[in-house]
Amino acid sequence: MPIQQKPGDLLDGFKRAVCYSGFRHGQHPDRGSGAVNPSDKEILEDLQMLSREGYFTLIRLYDAQANSEAVLRLIEANKLNLKVLLGAWLDAEVNNPNCPWHKEPYSREILAANQQRNGKEIESAIRLANLYSNTVVAVAVGNEALVDWNDHMVPVDSVISYVRKVRHSISQPVTVADNYNWWAHQGATLARELDFVSVHTYPAWEGKDIDEAMPFSIANLQAVRNALPHSRLVITEAGWATTASEFGPRAGEEKQKRYYHDLFAWTEQMNITTFFFEAFDEDWKGDPNNPLGAEKHWGLFTVDRKPKQVVRH
């Protein structure tokens, strides 16, 4: 099956987009003791930087919490030329013994509380999509909640019930974001419930260097296309770390720049809307004792908002 899509398959007509999380040094989402969110001024600075310097008019947000609501409010209040793929973050509803970094099983009480929280998150995403319908172009229900290595696994039947609730409650298209491999091997039932399928591809995480990066990503998309011949595809995450103790010399700004340009050149030709991961480095992620960990260094800009090679003018 050819991967090629029609121009009408682009998400709201956009080709290039970026994943955005605005947490700066010392800030983080709620990890059990409350969130430390960026200020309105900091968010506005980010959004203006992305639309001005990064040439993006479509961004992806990962949850429907206060921080994401602030982003939507500031876009509309300041009449910024930005649209949003809004997320609803789903926490673990079952234990995943295959997660390499989370070995302790969650208690039944925690899983039950997560299910309650997920229900509220879905309600919040519906509210925001309707309240900011001029800005929100689609809603993604869950992020990597289905793959067999995650720490926040949700059964596919539960995801489908959330998807149906959201689709019934908003006018925008609804999707689920997950790794290409899950879609290629297990995604057919869920894909039928969606307006489009959101795919993640990360050559660097799978041991590839820059010369293999594009052939690998194209093969990932081909596997999804072969499995889901009738689904509209969007790439909601693809990127390249600029520093990574896990990747050694495979990480770097030159390689990020090359992957960025090669990826967008191909996806524009294929009419696949693509969200590059990500706008800014996030130093709250990963192992706090390893400042060189890959999770912290995917940004087009550093955590203190300095442009890397790829966006330097």
pLDDT in tens, 271-288: 999 999 999 999 999 999
Classify residue 108 by burial, with Cβ atoms within 10 Å: 0-12, 13-18, 19+: exposed
Q: Is residue 125 part of a domain?
A: yes
Over residues 128-152, the mean pLDDT reads 96
The whole domain housing 94 covers 7-311
What pLDDT score does 68 carry? Answer: 97
Q: Is residue 87 part of a domain?
A: yes
- Look at the chain and report how many structural domains it folds into: 1
SS3 of 206, please? helix
pLDDT over threshold 80, residue 159: yes
Q: Is residue 173 part of a domain?
A: yes
Query: Rounded to an integer, what distance in angstroms lies between the CA atom of residue 33 and that of residue 14?
Result: 37
Query: Rounded to an integer, what distance in angstroms lies between the CA atom of residue 279 and that of residue 19?
Result: 6
- What residue type is assigned to position 82 of the chain? L
Q: What percent of the chain has pLDDT over 90?
A: 92
On whether the CB atoms of residues 184 and 224 are closer than 8 A, the answer is yes
Strand segments (E) across 42-116: 58-60, 83-88
What pLDDT score does 38 carry? Answer: 97
Q: Is residue 50 part of a domain?
A: yes
CATH code of the domain containing 230 = 3.20.20.80
pLDDT in tens, 73-119: 999 999 999 999 999 999 999 999 888 888 889 999 999 999 999 99
pLDDT in tens, 286-301: 999 999 999 999 999 9
Query: Rounded to an integer, what distance in angstroms lies between the CA atom of residue 1 and that of residue 6?
Result: 14
- What residue type is assigned to position 281 of the chain? D
Measured CA distances, 45 to 22, 49, 281 (Å): 10, 6, 15
Peptide bond into 123 cis (omega under 30): no
